[in-house]
Structure 1
Amino acid sequence: MIGPVITERMPLIGYDLSGPDAVTAQWRSHRLLVTANFLGLPAACGSFTPVDPQ
């Protein structure tokens, strides 16, 4: 399974402290990551950048 760690842009520092709606939004944007962890699926994260073909 390949998927994003988060489905939204990275939030500003302290965003999750702004209230319950912000925390709910954070949980929802991490749905795939949380589900994979609960199921015990192996995971790896990496930074993918385009490679210059030259």
Structure 2
Amino acid sequence: MKTVIMTLTAVFAATAASANAFAVPEISALEGTAAVAALAAVVLLVWERRRAA
């Protein structure tokens, strides 16, 4: 667990150091909706499998 936390911290620090402070990712409404739909599908699939088990 300690290794995972250290790895995540290193990745976050490297990303934050190399990223521009004013850079924001561009995402359209369609892409945002698709991402939410994909996440909802996965959550519902997991919920249904646990309920059926």
TM range (shorter): under 0.3
When Rg is computed on C-alpha atoms for both structures, the one with the higher figure is 2
Q: TM-score, normalised by structure 2?
A: 0.27
Larger RCO of the pair (alpha carbons < 8 Å, separation 6+): 1
Q: Which has the higher helix share?
A: 2
